[in-house]
Chains A and B, each alone.
Chain A
Amino acid sequence: GQQLNQSPQSMFIQEGEDVSMNCTSSSIFNTWLWYKQDPGEGPVLLIALYKAGELTSNGRLTAQFGITRKDSFLNISASIPSDVGIYFCAGLDGGSQGNLIFGKGTKLSVKP
């Protein structure tokens, strides 16, 4: 089935640093979503993107829907300890009965 390639798999950063992660696909997607999963909890929606080239912010988080519609990026500025968790990208390609396809996640660790 359709797959999303999410990178990096894990990151260890210092508090205050900026973070970048991305997701790529071999086919075109119509919607990109970014989720965060705190330890022991379910994923929570952070940002939704619906148009190629769209750039959307949510506090210190900024996500972009790639122009080619085959990728998306998430940036976190000035990281803090509560940013720790797993970040998932998810996409909708219109051919999977409307079901989201998830990347394998980026595990973020922040050193105080």
Chain B
Amino acid sequence: NAGVTQTPKFQVLKTGQSMTLQCAQDMNHNSMYWYRQDPGMGLRLIYYSASEGTTDKGEVPNGYNVSRLNKREFSLRLESAAPSQTSVYFCASSPQGYGYGYTFGSGTRLTVV
């Protein structure tokens, strides 16, 4: 009954450090997404993967890279963290890209100092 699992739940980084946020879903969904949530800004799409083997930029992709490792896993990498990347990051998945509700993970709270 896991749904979408994100790790870690909390992370503190120093400016310039790198890290990878992990996301895995067990619902056999085709599409996966990475969002960031900032106060007053709602949810902004960073990258998405419509299906295994494809990735595309969303609204705010700068400073991030992604890998769709297989159908289950979609990781988000910060190569050189900046304070502006302090945020709550959510991974989501859906059966397909059109018109279906997304299932979200519980989030990763990242602070860059």
Using CB atoms and an 8 Å cutoff, list the residues of chain A in contact with chain B.
1, 6, 9, 30-31, 33, 35, 40-45, 48, 50, 88, 92, 97-100, 102-105
Contacts and interface: CB of A to CB of B under 8 A. Distances in A.
B106 A99 contact: no
Interface stretch (B14-22, B39-47, B70-78): B39-47
Contacts of B40: 9, 104
A99 B45 contact: yes
Interface residues of B, number: 27
A100 B90 CA distance: 14
Interface string B67-102: 000000000000000000000001010001111011
Residue among B45, B56, B90, B102 with max Cβ neighbours from chain A (10 Å): B102
Contact of A104 (B41, B56, B96): B41
Contacts of A45: 101-103
